[in-house]
Structure 1
Amino acid sequence: MIEPLLLTTARLCTFDGQAPLTNASSFFFERDERLFLVTSRHVLKDAASGHQPDRIEIELHVDAENMAKSTGFSIPLYEDGKSVWRQAVDAAGEVDVAAIEIERGKLPEPTVYRAFTPAHLPGGFDQVEIGSSLLIVGFPLGFHDTLHHMPVARQGVVASSFGLRFQGQGYFLSDARTHRGASGAPVVARIPALESCQGDLPWTLLGVHSARLDVGRDLQQDEALGLNCAWYADILLTLTEG
């Protein structure tokens, strides 16, 4: 038996033509019968570093009886010169989350996956306490179960007041060991009060992992903070409406 949570997340690779660029994480979100792929916006374009792929490829399972079978599914990032992903801004600036709508008819038949829905979003900020346990499910440094094409989970805790915009930005902090390649991973927790409406995927989607957070420090004497930015998942209601 495969835990449904592991099937929500897909390994994502970026390309410039046929040239591979970076590895990242992504997950599926479903709303009103429409399917979206969610990742960090900087995975798709990052002007500061000059990162500008023209397509991405995700790895999909295609046989429920044999999880070792998978295929790559390519998604162009531009159509008629315009980006196909949805992103958002708020009062503090750009939100580092992007969503791409996927046409189900173009997916391989069959495709084995699970998707979060609006029912998996927190019902209120008071349901998550500081220090609450969470998981970041993704592909750190591209590492994963290469036979069964499954992500791995890093355990952490909520490290700032959940519901409060940390330093005015639309994210909260997690305390977890993370690496490059985890960008775009879902940040989830078990909240018993919500599980009755979440079916056999009893996880609450708290946020979208973006990046490690650090400060100016003495590299010889001070360890990295070990804190990370996770953008609040309710931004997906904005990105997937209409």
Structure 2
Amino acid sequence: MNIQRVVTANFALNNAWVVVFQDLNYVSHSKPMTPAETLMHTTVRLECLLDGNRTSTGTGFFFSFKVDDKTHIPLIVTNKHVINQSKVGTFVLTKMNDQGEPILGTTERIVLDNFESLWIKHPEESVDLAVFPIAPLYHQADAKGIKFFAPPIGEDLLATPEKVADLSGLENITMIGYPNGIWDEKNNMPIVRRGITATNPKHDYNGLPIFVIDCACFPGSSGSPVLIFDQGGYLDAKGNLNLGGGRVILLGVLFAGPQHVAEGEIQTIEVPLAQVPISLSKIPNNLGFVVKAQKIADFRKMLIPNG
């Protein structure tokens, strides 16, 4: 793997988040790939070096805001706590051929100094979201004749109030990420989990813009996109069966989950990052807390003030 190290001095954000693409070559429309296969390329494994040379892993995913028909702002979305206090961040991007297809096993390893400072954090303290404007990296790679296969989840897939109103309240969900840092390193591919909504996404759980899922959530899963991904048909809120059609909806981003210790005490904690020795056994309840996707839309005003 090649290593590209970018120091903050050469990667100051300034107004970098308004750097947009004039073409969409970074978005693949490769016909041989199924929607599911493309979806599995939307995430990225984040490895952070913390103080004391501790390392942690988390999940990010590619996302884009549309400026107009020809320009987009590409981002990586994750949780604040994933990149909190990170001195150096590392992630791996898959290269793309001239036909817009991923070249599996051919990657570029990106290493960034002062990693936490490169992220834009959600202004609300209680909203555990942060975004990384990745356009400068794409431009640097393009200047070297390199293109990456990093299909973003577009804002058109966000769970709008209209889409949420059409949900049944009990939905199958798909979560993509890197539990315990596990991944297909050779092919740079994530792990996919399935589950259901444990609370109704139409409501704010305990008055917060979150909902709960019933899904195995482990260290490294923080930042995973939680989606409705139906193929071949689905039931709407009125019980109508929509046959032959599929749907993809980004419901939100995993950020935490309840756990209980061996003594039986139940605690709600951020999905942990670092694998460190502890004296108490913390056992996941197979529940996860998810920030609603509507909070991702808040970044549009920050990135495109007049958009």
- TM tier, shorter chain? 0.7 to 0.9
Pair 1:233-2:267 in alignment: no
Paired residue secondary structure (1:203): strand
In the other structure, the counterpart of 2:276 is none
Equivalence for 1:137 = 176
Q: Structure 1's 150 and 224: CA in aligned 2 closer, same or farther, altered over 3 A?
A: closer
Equivalent residue runs for 1:8-157 within 5 Å? 8-16=42-50, 19=53, 21-31=55-65, 32=67, 33-45=72-84, 52-63=85-96, 64=101, 66-77=103-114, 83-90=117-124, 93-102=125-134, 103=136, 104-107=138-141, 109-124=146-161, 125-157=164-196
Is 1:85–1:100's contact at 8 Å kept on the other side of the alignment?
A: yes
**Uncovered stretches (5+) of structure 2, i.e. residues with no partner:** 1-31, 235-245, 266-282
Contact 2:169 2:202 in 1 (8 A): no
CA distance in 2, matches of 1:107, 1:27: 19
Matched residue pairs, number?
A: 223
**Structure 2 residue aligned with 1:48:** none
Per-residue Cα deviation, 1:74-133 (whole angstroms, up to 9, x for no partner) = 33446xxx933222244xx42011111112313461111100111111232212333200
Q: Secondary structure at the match of 1:68?
A: strand
Structure 1, unmatched stretches of 5+, are 46-51, 194-200
TM-score with structure 2 length normalisation?
0.65
Tell me how far apart the structure 2 counterparts of residues 6 and 168 of structure 1 sit (CA, whole Å). 32
Give the 3 Å change call, closer, same or farther, for CA 20–35 of structure 1 in structure 2: farther
Question: How far, CA to CA, are the matches of 1:183 and 1:210 in structure 2?
Answer: 5
CA distance in 2, matches of 1:210, 1:158: 15
Q: How far apart, in 1, do the equivalents of 2:49 and 2:229 lie?
A: 35
Tell me the equivalent position of 1:7: 41
Greater Rg over alpha carbons, structure: 2
RCO (CA 8 Å, sep 6+): is it higher in 1 or 2?
Answer: 1
Give yes or no for contact 2:218–2:284 (8 Å, CA) kept in 1.
no
Native 8 Å contact 2:257 2:288 kept in 1 = yes
Identity of aligned residues (%): 21
- State the 1:20 CA deviation: 5.5
Please give the alpha-carbon distance, in whole angstroms, between the structure 2 residues aligned to 1:9 and 1:44.
16
Judge conservation of contact 2:105–2:188 (CA < 8 Å) in 1. Answer: yes
Q: Structure 1 residue 225: deviation in Å?
A: 2.8
| CA separation of 1:106 and 1:180: change in aligned 2, threshold 3 A | same
Match of 2:258 among 174, 190, 213: 213
